């Protein structure tokens, strides 16, 4: 009988190597901060979070504008299906008049914070003129992949809820005006607000504290904090463990067959 144990083990090891080679080239998603901003529009709510480690100055600027209420009564002036839904600059984009503090922050420009993060659906990317340091308060929510923008425009966050609202915006009637595809009717940002989510570490700490107060001895093995491992990380870990088990089983089968042959060698 042909010995298939060794080739099987070698094949398993090769597959394992290919798995980690592919994983090393995959983009690691930046960590989202704990702040969430909600734009309440005429078509529903859009929530997004920030990448403070990727574009700290941009995040601080946009967040200050949100805290000041500068995006209230502003609008999406551009909706290009499969490409971008772009929020207008707060200077000139709002229906309500601006106070002095809003106007002062709205006039600021931010140095370009370009990164290796890719422009894919849901990403938030700053608008700008030809000057790479001319980003103000206008930004786009990506409606599809746009690799030609990578490294050219500052990415600072992503949509966390409300993709179905973006899908609604994509279906609205539009007109082309120069390079822009614009909605026929105004898409108003009626109001905005923000809140902080509890981090995974905070939730673990709270759980420990509650258990200690209840005289608990041990923590549950399974915790509710899914952010300890992202969904991609969990899938990769599961696949790695499965491959290890497969390699181990293959080696055991090979050894058993080898030992069996050594015990059953008889003269003809």
Q: Where are the domains of the chain?
A: 1-28+199-268, 35-196
Distance in angstroms (rounded) separating the CA atoms of residues 123 and 146: 10
Sign for the CA dihedral angle at 41, 43, 45, 50 comes to: negative
Q: How far apart are CA 166 and CA 201, in angstroms?
A: 32
Tokens representing 67 are 């805290």
Helices 5-25 and 231-263, packing angle to 10 deg? 170
Q: What is the pLDDT at residue 107?
A: 97
Q: What is the CATH number of domain 35-196?
A: 2.40.100.10
Question: Is there a contact between 141 and 159 (Cβ–Cβ < 8 Å)?
Answer: yes
Q: CA–CA separation, 209 vs 124, rounded Å?
A: 37
pLDDT of residue 264: 42
pLDDT tens digits for range 129-156: 999 999 999 999 999 999 999 999 999 9
- Residue 25 has a pLDDT of 46
Q: What is the pLDDT of residue 207?
A: 75
Residues in the chain: 268
Q: Cβ contacts of residue 213 below 8 Å, gap of 6+?
A: none
Residue with token string 């599809």: 144
For residue 71, what are the contacts with CB-CB under 8 A and spacing of at least 6?
Answer: 39, 65, 87, 90, 94, 137, 189, 192
Instruction: Write out the chain's pLDDT in tens, 268 residues.
Output: 455 555 555 555 555 555 544 444 456 789 999 999 999 999 999 999 999 999 999 999 999 999 999 999 999 999 999 999 999 999 999 999 999 999 999 999 999 999 999 999 999 999 999 999 999 999 999 999 999 999 999 999 999 999 999 999 999 999 999 999 999 999 999 999 999 998 776 777 677 777 777 765 554 544 444 444 454 555 555 555 556 555 555 555 555 555 544 444 333 3
State the pLDDT at residue 98.
97
Q: How high is the pLDDT of residue 174?
A: 98
Distance CA 63, CA 72 (A): 13
Q: Please give the DSSP secondary-structure letter assigned to residue 30.
A: P
3-state secondary structure of 210: helix
What was the pLDDT predicted at 213?
74
Which ranges of the chain does DSSP label H, i.e. alpha helix? Answer: 5-25, 56-67, 90-93, 100-106, 163-170, 200-213, 231-263
pTM for the full model?
A: 0.68
| Chain centroid, CA 102 distance in Å | 29
Sign of CA dihedral 96, 102, 107, 109: negative
Separation between Cα atoms, residue 88 and residue 100, nearest integer Å: 19
């Amino acid at each position: 009988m042909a010995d298939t144990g060794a080739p099987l083990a070698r094949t398993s090891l090769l597959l394992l190597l290919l798995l980690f080679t592919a994983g090393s080239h995959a983009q690691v998603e930046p960590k989202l901060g704990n702040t969430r901003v909600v734009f309440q529009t005429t078509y529903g709510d859009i929530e997004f979070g920030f990448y403070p480690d990727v574009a700290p100055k941009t995040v601080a600027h946009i967040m200050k504008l949100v805290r000041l209420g500068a995006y209230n009564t502003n609008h999406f002036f551009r909706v290009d299906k499969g490409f971008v839904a772009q929020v207008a600059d707060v200077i000139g984009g709002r229906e309500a008049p601006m106070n002095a503090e809003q106007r002062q922050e709205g006039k600021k420009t931010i140095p370009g914070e370009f990164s290796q993060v890719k422009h894919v659906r849901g990403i938030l990317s700053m608008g700008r003129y030809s000057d790479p340091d001319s980003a103000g308060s206008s930004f786009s929510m990506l409606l599809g992949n746009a690799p030609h923008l990578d490294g050219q425009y500052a990415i600072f966050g992503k949509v966390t809820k409300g993709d179905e609202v973006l899908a609604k915006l994509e279906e609205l009637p539009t007109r082309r005006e120069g390079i822009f595809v614009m909605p026929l009717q105004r898409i108003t940002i009626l109001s905005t607000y923000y809140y902080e989510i509890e981090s995974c570490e905070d939730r673990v700490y709270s759980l420990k504290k509650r258990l200690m107060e209840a005289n608990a001895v041990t923590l549950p093995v399974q915790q509710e904090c899914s952010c300890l491992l992202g969904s991609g990380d969990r899938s990769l870990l599961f696949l790695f463990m499965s491959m290890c088990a497969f390699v181990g089983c293959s080696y055991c089968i090979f050894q058993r067959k080898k030992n069996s042959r050594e015990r059953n060698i008889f003269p003809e």
